[in-house]
Amino acid sequence: MVWKKQMPIFFKTIWSNQFEPATQIQHASLIYKARFGSEGHVNEDIALVKTEDIPSHDMLVGGFPCQDYSVVHP
């Protein structure tokens, strides 16, 4: 897709985390890195990430697992 006009940047992502606990191959994380780059991206269980390892930020956004797309099975 070709954009005719550059969209203004209101926010800059400085850190991201994506982890699927039930898979050996982290498909979502690999796709994130392919689309947005690996700088500031972490592929770890968020419960194990130390608070001091998360950069200083103005806004923190989190989301629950996307069950429709998640590969985690009960």
Q: Among all residues, which ones are annotated catalytic? A: 66
Pairwise CA distance, residues 74 & 71, whole Å: 10
Reference 18, options 29, 5, 10; nearest CA is 29
